[in-house]
Every structure is written in structure tokens, then in C-alpha cells.
Amino acid sequence: MKLGRLAGYRVFKALGHGGMGAVFLAEDPKLKRKVALKVMLPLSKQLGAKPKSAAI
């Protein structure tokens, strides 16, 4: 099963995640081999910022 594409890579599944990013199993279509892609989370998520809620 394929999740989608990221920067030209075919992404198959998430392998893990941590405080700074996530790692995905993907395929490099030019080299025709599997690779691991590490994607950094936005800085606000790294710092543990909570989303602002709307005032009621």
C-alpha cells in the first residue's frame, strides 16, 4: 500500500516518530530502491506548543 509522494519519493508506510520528526519507508524512483526518509516536524510541534483555541 502506498501513502503518497513526498519530494518525488513514493512513500509506503511510517516506520517511527519522535520529538523532532518521523521516518517513512519510501522508494527512490530514479535508483529503484527502498530508502528511509526522515521528515522534520514543524518547530511549534518540536517545542510542544499547543494550538490556540478560539475564545467562546
pLDDT tens per residue across span 3-40: 899 999 999 999 999 988 999 999 999 999 999 999 99
Counted domains in the chain: 1
- Give the H or E element holding residue 46: helix 43-46
10 belongs to a structural domain? yes
Domain of residue 30, residue span: 4-41
Output the pTM of the full model: 0.71
Residue 24 belongs to a domain? yes
Task: List phi, psi (to 5°) of 3.
Answer: -80, -35
- Fill in the amino acid letter for 43: L
Tell me the pLDDT tens digit for each residue of 41-51.
887 666 665 55
Whether 36 and 28 have beta carbons less than 8 Å apart is answered as no
CA distance linking residue 35 with residue 25, whole number of Å = 6
